[in-house]
Structures are given as structure tokens and as C-alpha cells.
Structure 1
Amino acid sequence: MESNNQDWLTEQEKFWSQDFGDEYTHRNQGDSLLSGNLSLFAKILARTQKVKSLIEFGANRGINLEAIEQLVPDIKLSAIEINNVAVEELRKSSDIEIYHQSILDFTPHRSWEFVLIKGVLIHINPNYLDEVYDRLYQSSHRYICLVEYYNPTPVEVTYRGHQGKLFKRDFAGEMLDKYKNLQLVDYGFVYHRDCHFPSDDLTWFLLEKTL
């Protein structure tokens, strides 16, 4: 589904849709990333009931979805992605439903059992986080999984020499406060010095909608 708008609301969207996003897509691939994702998502999915549909917000080339599909072969996958190069990589997997657009342009017309966002909320303009939280919440029929850099209070960090491109905070806590029918199912941390499955010091949170 094409809607790659060039009139971006934020500088961050423009940044990821252009050269930096292209370079990120080329850089982030390989067997070590896949094995780390298999370990991570095996832990997370083990805390869920049967998940048959999943959408990832900011899927890039699909390395997270590749791991999930190996773990749950019959799952129906969807992806939102802003970058053209990444979308071309996603298209190599014909089973993924692709929304080629910014998260801020995405309007969910249905829901998925599992909504995933990994390493993306940290790059969203903080003024638009509430809108992204709403889209995550509206898209989810049951589970929402956030995998991000954590900090108890909002802080900006220089990202590969760029300012205004990486922000850490308690994303999960903010969603739990905002939506009273969300509950925390589980959470965990992946250390960059893990002997077998290192990752980039990411903290994951699995949230579930309750009645």
C-alpha cells in the first residue's frame, strides 16, 4: 500500500526516509542479528497465547519479522515502513502486507493480535509520541510489544553525530498511564555483552489489553 508522502510532519521522518535510512538498511543485516532476534522473540512470544497476526511499526528490511516467521510459521505479517530501500527489501518476502508510509500517516482500519515496535519510538519526535501511542493502541487487538532504549525520565542522546534524532524515556510506563486497560505482562533486558545473543542494550515490554 503506497502512501510515501514527501511533506513530512517532522525532521525525523525526513531523516529516516532519505540517505541515513538507506545506510541503516544496508548496515542492519546478517546471521548474528537473526540469531539474536530468534532468542529475543522466543522469550517474548512464550509469554503470549496463540498469536496469528502481527504488525510491526517501522519494520525496516524485515529482520524482526523474519525471526518471528521462523518461530511462528503460520503467522500473518504486516509492516509499516517509511524508507524506500527498506520497502524494496520487504517486498522480497511476498507474504508480508506492506504499508509504505510514515507511522504518523498510518490509520489502522483493522486490528492485529500483536503489535510490535522495536528501536523506533526512540527516533520519534517527542511532540508526536502521543499520536504514535494512539496508533499502536488502536492497531492492537490484544498485545503490544515495545523494544527500545529505556530511561526513567526523558533524555536526548547524540546519535551517530546527529542531534535531535534519538530520545530515551519510559515509553511503556507512559502507555500504561495513558490506557487504563493495558497491563504489563512481562519485561526484560538484552545486554550487549551477552555471550551468545548480544543486542544493543534493549529493554522489552509486553503489554496486554484487558476487558
Structure 2
Amino acid sequence: MRPLTEQEQFWQGEFGDEYVSRNQGDDWVASNIAFFSEVLRSCSNVSSILELGTNRGLNLHALHTLLPDADLHGVELNSQACDIANQLGYAQVWQGSLFDYPITHQTDLSFTKGVLIHLAPELLEKAYAQLYRASRRYILIAEYYNPSPVEVRYRGNDGKLFKRDFAGEMLDLYPDLKLKKYGFIYRRDPVFPQDDICWFLMEKHAG
């Protein structure tokens, strides 16, 4: 069995449990509905979705509101968060590391939101490969952006948060991916804030 990275152990344990308790509420869901409404305007015929790094299911909650008939799947390392997400009743959430998730079928959209920033940088290409293999058509990355890799101290912890051009790296790795849409949501948005998220929607193109 593969040993977990330092980052995975961090999120699997007490800090991850505290994150689950801290991030909840109707305001989060409302902001996520607004966010995914914007993203999905640039998509067509999305009937299945996979989220790598689901946490308690706030993103899947919003997506179910917007696409009530969509087949929703998630992957979550933290057992407490995974249990809460599965209790939503409309998504199948697999417990474990996104690096170990067995991709048995593709979905119309695969995505991460605030997850790649917390991964060990040397394993990012494996995370990109999981996103790529899992998607039939669209890939969404919603993370902190920086044109060059940089580490940021996270709630008093080192080695737990990194900013970089995640989407650009995926576009370089997979030539058939094309950037379809991108945007930014400010943490001080007066109606539907997000935590300074930069999002990039990519689409697979044959040939």
C-alpha cells in the first residue's frame, strides 16, 4: 500500500476534521451555486461530474441544485468529510486519496476546487493525469493562481499551500486540451464571494 504524503496525512487527521467543521453553511452553498452557474454557461450536455477532493460536499450540493439529474461522484481523503458528503444522498463519494482513485469510467466534467494548492508539488502531474483520464470532455481547475510556483504559509503550517499556474501546466502536458473560459472571484464580492479563486475551464479536442 502506498504511504501517504505529509500533506495527505495532514488533511486526513485533526486539521482536516477542523476544516470540515469550519467550512459549512448556506452562504457557502449560495456562493458555490453562483460560481458553478457561471462555469456551466460555457459547457453543454453535462450529465455526469467527478470532483477530486470533495470535502463535505458543498460543491456537489451546488451542482445538484443546478443539475438535479446529473450523476455526481466525488473523492475525499478525510473520513469525516466523506461520511457527510455521502449523507447528502445524491452523490457517490469514494474515500481515499485522489492519487489512488480507480477510474472505472469517464464523466463529462472532472474538477478540483481548492485542492491542488494543498498537494505535494512533486505529485501534481499525477493529479493532472487523474483529472485528464477521468474526463470525457471538460476539466475545471479552480485554485489560487500565481505565474510561477510559490509556497505560502497556511494557518501557521509550512509545506501545506502552494500557488502556481496549474491550468497552464495541464495545457502544456496535454496538447488536446484547449482553454475554453476563465475567471476570478474576489473574496470581497458583496454578494457571492469566493476565496480569491481563479478558475479555468478546459475542453478536450480531438486531432
**TM-score when scaled to structure 1?**
0.96
The CA deviation string for residues 90-121 of structure 1, in whole angstroms up to 9 with x for no partner, is: 12122211211101111312111000100000
Deviation at 1:140, TM superposition (A): 0.4
Task: Give the distance between the partners of 2:84 and 2:66, measured in 1 at CA.
Answer: 20
Partner in structure 1 of residue 92 of structure 2 = 97
**Partner SS, residue 4 of structure 2:** coil
**In the alignment, is residue 86 of structure 1 matched against residue 62 of structure 2?**
no
- Runs of at least 5 residues in structure 1 that lack an aligned partner in the other structure: none
After superposition, residues 16-27 of structure 1 pair within 5 angstroms as 16-27=11-22
**Partner SS, residue 73 of structure 1:** coil
The partner residue of 1:143 within 125, 138, 143 is 138
Tell me, yes or no, if the aligned pair for 2:141 and 2:200 is still in contact at 8 Å. Answer: yes
**Partner SS, residue 113 of structure 1:** strand
Task: Give the distance between the partners of 1:69 and 1:109, measured in 2 at CA.
Answer: 22
Task: Give the distance between the partners of 1:96 and 1:68, measured in 2 at CA.
Answer: 10
Partner in structure 1 of residue 194 of structure 2 = 199
RMSD (Å), alpha carbons: 0.9
Letter in 1 for 2:100: D
**TM-score when scaled to structure 2?**
0.97
Task: Give the distance between the partners of 1:122 and 1:152, measured in 2 at CA.
Answer: 14
The partner residue of 1:8 within 3, 9, 12 is 3
Task: Give the distance between the partners of 2:71 and 2:102, measured in 1 at CA.
Answer: 19
Task: Give the distance between the partners of 2:85 and 2:182, measured in 1 at CA.
Answer: 28
Partner in structure 1 of residue 46 of structure 2 = 51
The CA deviation string for residues 122-159 of structure 1, in whole angstroms up to 9 with x for no partner, is: 00000100111011000000000000000000000000
**Partner SS, residue 103 of structure 1:** coil
The partner residue of 1:169 within 154, 164, 168 is 164
**Partner SS, residue 143 of structure 1:** strand
Tell me, yes or no, if the aligned pair for 1:107 and 1:135 is still in contact at 8 Å. Answer: no
Task: Give the distance between the partners of 2:87 and 2:93, measured in 1 at CA.
Answer: 11
Tell me, yes or no, if the aligned pair for 1:191 and 1:199 is still in contact at 8 Å. Answer: yes
Letter in 1 for 2:150: V
Tell me, yes or no, if the aligned pair for 2:64 and 2:90 is still in contact at 8 Å. Answer: no
**In the alignment, is residue 129 of structure 1 matched against residue 124 of structure 2?**
yes
Name the % identity: 48
Q: How many residue pairs align between the two structures?
A: 206
Tell me, yes or no, if the aligned pair for 1:114 and 1:141 is still in contact at 8 Å. Answer: yes
Task: Give the distance between the partners of 1:125 and 1:107, measured in 2 at CA.
Answer: 20
